[in-house]
Amino acid sequence: MTRRSKLILTALLLLVALAAGAGLRFAWFLRHPVEPSAPRLIVIHPGTSFAGVASRLETEGVITGAFEFKVLSRLRGNAHSIKAGEYEFREPAAPGKVLDRLIAGDVRRLKFTVPEGLNLAEIAAKLEAEGHGEKTVFLALARDPAFISTLGLDAPTLEGYLFPETYTLESGTSEERLIKAMVEQFRTRLAPELTAAAAERGLDLYQLVTLASIIQKEAGNEEEMPLISAVFHNRLRLRMPLQADPTVIYGIADFDGNLTRKHLSTPTPYNTYRMRGLPSGPIASPGEEALRAAAMPATVDYLYFVSQGDGTHVFSQTLKEHNNMVRRYQLRR
């Protein structure tokens, strides 16, 4: 064998060894899950190159090799299929699983809980405080007649129509998308039987939501809601003022927590001590039980109720009985 032949053979063997080594390394890369040293949040912005994504994943300890990750994506033919968003990596994962998540758009999901009885301003403040959106943007949409009309609602604002629930949000979910989901949840939870029952009592959808929002704010528990609803229905029928403190409070700008006689005597569209009938609109987001109670009140003759100081109420048919209960549970306290 000539010297030249030996050199060629040696080179070929070296190439084979290098290829075999690269293959073994790639096989090891594919089969070994990587666990980040700490939870990693990787943000992929629209237009980011795959090479840039691979490099970031390697730097953050999600994969062991950016080059091998790029080879994997080329072999699978989906380097251009990854989706932008925020990805959170906590658990050990092989590179193939990491790539699967990027392609599927398995972005970080967040929880946003809206308790029953919050009003628009309170929901917006909670949204911003938890980092899910901007308060001003949320409120502007919720009070925009053009946007509200696209949702198929005949209302001046979305007060009362943003259903209280825990929502799962993808990172970057817009305020508009969240509001649409909340209104859709409201429609889903408002059973046709409730709107039919409300119509039989002379309430349209807006009036039903308005009454339900008052019941939600007045009731200390769900069991009392039909009774409180009955009081308000009876008062409406007799054209008595509802005299609901939460409506008065809603109409006070910058309420400081102290409801005074002056507040009760100041005319506003929400002062149900000074007006008969329902206030000009909802005062909060009612839950399903409050909506049901507003449409289907208990069959009782109560006209009054007073808090016992423990979240429950005492109900009365006459003013004399009510005054006695006020002296017992309120004045002594």
- Cβ–Cβ under 8 Å, residues 222 and 291: no
**pLDDT grade for 246, boundaries at 50, 70 and 90:** very high
pLDDT of residue 120: 97
Mean pLDDT value across the chain: 88
- pTM comes to 0.79
Instruction: List, in order, residues 6 or more apart from 284 with CB less than 8 Å away.
Output: 117, 118, 119, 159, 160, 213, 216, 217, 246, 250
pLDDT at 205 over 60: yes
Token pair 């704010």 is at which residue?
A: 217
- Residue 180 predicted with pLDDT over 60: yes
Topology of domain 33-107, CATH: Dna Ligase; domain 1 (3.30.1490)
Handedness of CA 308, 314, 318, 321 (dihedral sign): negative
Q: CB-side exposure of 62: number of CA atoms within 13 Å? A: 23
What does the DSSP 8-state code read for residue 328? Answer: I
5-18: pLDDT as tens digits: 545 444 444 444 44
CA distance 125 to 237: 37
For residues 212 and 206, what is the distance between their CA atoms, to the nearest angstrom? 10
Of 166-170, 232-236, 309-313, the one with minimum mean pLDDT is 309-313
User: What is the reported pLDDT for 23?
Assistant: 55
pLDDT category of residue 47 using cuts at 50, 70 and 90: confident
Q: What pLDDT shows up at residue 80?
A: 80
Q: Which helix (H) or strand (E) holds 89?
A: strand 85-89
Domain ranges of the chain: 33-107, 109-189, 192-302
Mean pLDDT of all residues in 90-107: 89
User: Which tokens sit at 87?
Assistant: 């990805």
Q: Would the pLDDT of 178 be above 80?
A: yes
Query: Which residue in this structure is represented by tokens 């208990």?
Result: 298
Average pLDDT of the residues in 174-199:
95
Q: What is the pLDDT of residue 144?
A: 97
